[in-house]
Structure 1
């Protein structure tokens, strides 16, 4: 380690300085980059997405602030709430909890903030304390309003007409902004375009042009019959989510912000309250150049945009926010007391509609967010909270056994300490390693057992597990479940604009949430693949523009009845009787009818005799 480094920083250090630390043998595990100031030249394509090395970072990124996470889970640099200067990293191996755990004085944030006094707040801890689990009345989730909705109907509660209309308007405006002729893009074409994007997630081809390939081994007939290749590429070029003449220089995500807000509102509007909510970070894969791009070691997606997410335990996304360093929406009082990592959670909870905001939710989070102050605040709001907690956030006077000494105890051992006034419980449990957790209403009673493999005994053994650990393991994985759902059939069409990965991620949210609601509302279970295919087939048939092919239309029953989606056949909309083209004879598509007539259904595009027309469109 260099001893002649004369560096002193008051509020963190830049990325280039953080990289110098990494090269000086500091045992660093992760580095978080705080995004630089936004650049208004956002219409230019980014570089090829084939690298993600620190040597390729721009000057604006290197000048931005950064945070280092060491292998012992300590963080330095300014993003978390346990920061110290660079000189402390170079001169000492550890920092005491009294240096880390400080309360910021403030006048008031509602009534609870009035209880915060200037300086440090004292806590009175009782070793061995516990409390009984409080049974708060939470209404049963009611999914009845979604029970009779079809797959398309439930999907369009998220991606509705207003969003499609907005995309149409902004896309046409952007084409004119580039001095190109008005492309006259319609609502149907945007829906057809989106359905092709979804199809690319489960039917992957080498490039987006491959769907229109001339060879049968790659060509996709459904896509070819719904939209021409050049039209698809034209929409890809002009698709837009914001007005380029209305730039918000304080918002690094202004290019995608309007669509983000519309999707957020739909998620909140369709959220059926469930008691258990998980707060975690999600990564959107991106390897190009942008100030908001982050690198997190150990994540399935290491390079990309970081999203703060609130999810139910089944993966429904309730609310989200893009991390961009200095957020124009951030609350300085929340940041000063709780830290930048947990402030977005408080703001997202405030976004809940009034009818849903006051319910007694249980919040689950990992050690990046857990702190004594924020748990006090959640308890004041009527929420309960459970989370793992870092050693440097535990008050110095807490009587828990030292972590090193506790690690020598047998697996399954645990001890507790409870704060006398605030009623916050700390539990230290020995599993494969020492785990420390905090809780506001779930205790250690109802101790269960889990199987663990013992190296000492060379077999699986039963290990005691406190109740709050079991609760945490059961309900904390909501964001990871959403990530898994999205990654399974992620949209495969790529683009070079920096906002394209966020745009496709935003399109995945309605798919994920509508599928989750559909499963909850219907006893009939459906896989995500079947759900996506049904939606894509319906959209391609309903909104696609079929080619005019040569030859006569087929008269066989198998080629007519089987190609009609149930959503189109039974939607009771715009099914009109008409003569066939040039009054040519077509076989009736109704099962059991062998007549060959000259009438058809205009919407279904199948031959139907007058007697069978009504029954054909009834379930």
Structure 2
């Protein structure tokens, strides 16, 4: 049988996984660029897990076995699983300069000095203000313009959407993350057990549906056919820049891949029943240990801006590490970061290149990536050794050195590092079947530090998935858009935590949603003359920022919002957007 020269399709990937019982992710490539890719074939309310259209089944795909965060496991019964692609018939060999190997390890330079993170400039920011560091007024105005332009392109009536309505729309999406409903329509249900009053009082369902239908981020007449994410590219570029601008440098950064689920709650959309397979898009990510997303780029098969020279020298996976680093701002690129990655990315040439650039790198590495000249004991031979056994070796070129530590835990693990060796030897708790108790097992320092520095992307995934936006759409790019919206909220929350805020992620999201729904929402028309004054959000009311007495628009009258006051006047607070008489103004804004 000849080797495969083209990538797998989704349909072929499903055939391969038909008889597999392990956990797998199937990464899908986005559709080819054309204006008709705004819509999918299935309804957003469709909960049938065996629906994939023909174009999706024929899309390019990549299979990855789901791995674990730590290279060591605390339970004897759980086998070690490496993250790896299915083996191909022929793997492209990376040309490497000959390395000099010695058994043992060279004394490493030690961790370089790094500035302490300083979040003081965000100290007085409210949750909404932190979120708007990423989705700022400029971006909201751009979304309004592109949505109107899309309506004209489709020859639809002018939607006349405003920035305030887009904010309410986003607020409803955020609400759907922490207060999900069986369907989008349930938020506006007339049944009291389903209806969400905050959403109903902020925007009508028909208006929400119309904005959702017209929402757009790029001009369909100026699409880049070489970029499969061209419909989202302006949004991607804006958030890439804002994430970098507000990144407070920390030394440890992990490079990994995140999955953006494409099919909502249902992981398996084909007729493979009871199989733990998830579908979605892949995003290359670099995160701090806490989970702040520093840099990212969605994967699309043949990258529209991939560095061919880096890919030829280091291989495509390893090249993604350097490509994201090249996107750092000059000020932040010149710091001495320590990067962590798993065996999908790690190569010795990559670690040497990082060292020559002034960075350090640490990652698990596959045995077949190390090379035949490596003097370490073979993995199969080490499997017969006692738990905690390890050995190390050093690979050097003309200028730099990399230490490899191979360790026997539940399985044999190899970690390569330009920063850490095996000393000082640490210990970890492991359960012993023989002794029926936990015992101390030796662990090399490099592997211990890898476990400490790796996992920032997984932490971000965990946080986002906890309150992930649940409202779905027909559009293929919708899941990526909502992921970026969730990511912006998450990054803003990380800034809030960094400056000492005790708000949980749920509280943080609720503050943003409540601010948008209350401040910019429009009450439905009802019988009689009900008050249209909504109470000001707590943190806005007492923030002492820009509260001014101003006349009510069109010289209309508004009831004073201060407790105990029944006067009706023609003045209001410019920031709280509530009616206030002059004598109550100071009292209303004082705790």
Indicate the TM-score class for this superposition, using the shorter chain for normalisation: 0.7 to 0.9
Give the deviation of 1:213 after TM superposition.
Answer: 1.8
- 1:124-152 superposed Cα distances (whole Å, 9 cap, x missing partner): 11112242451301111111111121211
- 1:534-573 aligned at under 5 Å gives the runs 534-550=511-527, 564-570=537-543, 572-573=545-546
Residues in 2 aligned to 1:148 and 1:63: alpha-carbon distance in whole angstroms: 47
Q: 1:425 to 1:463 in 2, by over 3 A?
A: same
Which residue does 2:74 correspond to in 1? none
Distance 1:338 1:552, change over 3 A: same
CA positional deviation for 1:11: 4.0
- Three-state SS of the structure 2 residue aligned to 1:226 is coil
* Deviation of 1:283 (Å): 0.6
Which residue does 2:73 correspond to in 1? none
Question: Where does residue 585 of structure 2 map in the other structure?
Answer: 613
- How far apart are the structure 2 equivalents of 1:36 and 1:494? 17
2:470 to 477, 492, 515: 492
Bigger relative CO (Cα 8 Å, ≥ 6 apart): 2
Aligned pairs (5 A) from 1:218-229: 218-229=194-205
Change (3 A) 1:404 1:73: farther
1:4 matched residue in structure 2: none
Cα offset, 1:44, TM superposition:
3.0
Per-residue deviation, residues 78-133 of structure 1 (Å, max 9, x unmatched)? xxxxx543xxxxxxxxxxxxxx69433xxxxxxxxxxxxxxx52211111224245
Report 1:57-76 matches (<5 A).
58=54, 62=58, 64=60, 75=85
Query: Kindly tell me: are residues 65 and 495 of structure 1, through their superposed partners in 2, closer, same or farther at Cα, counting changes over 3 Å?
Result: closer
- Return the alpha-carbon distance in structure 1 between the equivalents of residues 560 and 55 of structure 2: 69
Within 5 Å, which residues of 2 pair with 1:27-46?
A: 35=29, 38-40=32-34, 41-46=36-41
* 1:509 paired residue number: 487
Q: Secondary structure at the match of 2:38?
A: coil
122, 140, 147: which is aligned to 1:146? 122
Distance apart, 1:153 and its partner CA:
1.3
**Residues 579-590 of structure 1: matches in 2 within 5 Å?**
589=562
Which residue of 161, 171, 178 maps to 1:202? Answer: 178
8 Å contact from structure 1 (residues 321, 344) kept in 2: no
Aligned residue in 1 for 2:510: 533
Greater gyration radius: 1
Q: 1:369 to 1:299 in 2, by over 3 A?
A: farther
Aligned equivalents of 1:449, 1:62: Cα separation in 2: 49
Is the partner of 1:408 in helix, strand or coil? coil
SS at match of 2:361: strand
CA distance in structure 1 between the partners assigned to 2:131 and 2:165 by the alignment:
17
Equivalent residue number for residue 383 of structure 2: 407
> Shift in Å at residue 464 of structure 1?
1.1
Structure 1 residue 576 displacement after superposition: 2.6
Deviation at 1:175, TM superposition (A): 1.0
Q: Which residue of 2 aligns with 1:378?
A: 354
* Unpaired segments ≥5 residues, structure 1: 1-6, 78-82, 86-99, 105-119
| Structure 1 position 239 matched with structure 2 position 232 | no
Using the TM superposition, give the Cα deviation of residue 316 of structure 1 relative to its aligned residue in structure 2, in angstroms.
0.3
Q: Which moved more, 1:565-574 or 1:65-74?
A: 65-74
Q: 1:80: which partner in 2?
A: none
What does residue range 3-402 of structure 1 map to in structure 2 within 5 Å? 7-9=1-3, 11=5, 14-15=8-9, 22=16, 35=29, 38-40=32-34, 41-48=36-43, 50=47, 58=54, 62=58, 64=60, 75=85, 84-85=89-90, 102-104=93-95, 120-132=96-108, 134-287=110-263, 302-402=278-378
Contact 2:151–2:157 under 8 Å retained in 1: yes
| Distance change in 2, residues 1:65/1:337 (3 Å) | farther
Report if the CA contact (8 A) 1:199-1:533 is conserved. Answer: yes
Q: Distance in 2 between matches of 1:68 and 1:140?
A: 37
Shift of 1:577: 5.5
* Contact 1:538/1:565, CA 8 A, preserved across alignment: no
Partner-residue secondary structure (3-state), 2:385: coil
Give the Cα–Cα distance (whole angstroms) in 2 for the partners of residues 363 and 20 of structure 1.
Answer: 34
d(CA) in 2 for partners of 1:299 and 1:476?
Answer: 28
Where 1:230 maps in the other structure, the secondary structure is helix
Query: How has the CA–CA distance of structure 1 residues 399 and 505 changed in structure 2, closer, same or farther, with 3 Å as cutoff?
Result: same
Cα deviation, 1:465-499, whole Å, max 9, x if unaligned, reads 11111211112110011001111111111101101
Displacement of 1:285: 0.8
For residue 512 of structure 1, report the CA deviation from its aligned partner: 0.3
What corresponds to 2:417 in structure 1? 439
In 1, distance between residues paired with 2:214 and 2:159? Answer: 9
Give the counterpart of 2:432 among 451, 454, 457.
454
Indicate the RMSD between aligned Cα atoms, in angstroms: 3.5
Report if aligned partners of 1:132, 1:445 keep a CA contact under 8 Å in 2. no
In structure 2, do the counterparts of structure 1 residues 398 and 571 end up closer, same or farther at CA, with 3 Å as the change threshold? Answer: same
1:541: how far off? 1.5
Deviates more, 1:67-76 or 1:430-439: 67-76
Q: Distance in 2 between matches of 1:206 and 1:477?
A: 32
Worse-matched range after superposition: 315-324 or 143-152:
143-152
CA drift of 1:610 comes to: 3.1
Q: Which runs of 5+ in 2 are unaligned?
A: 67-80
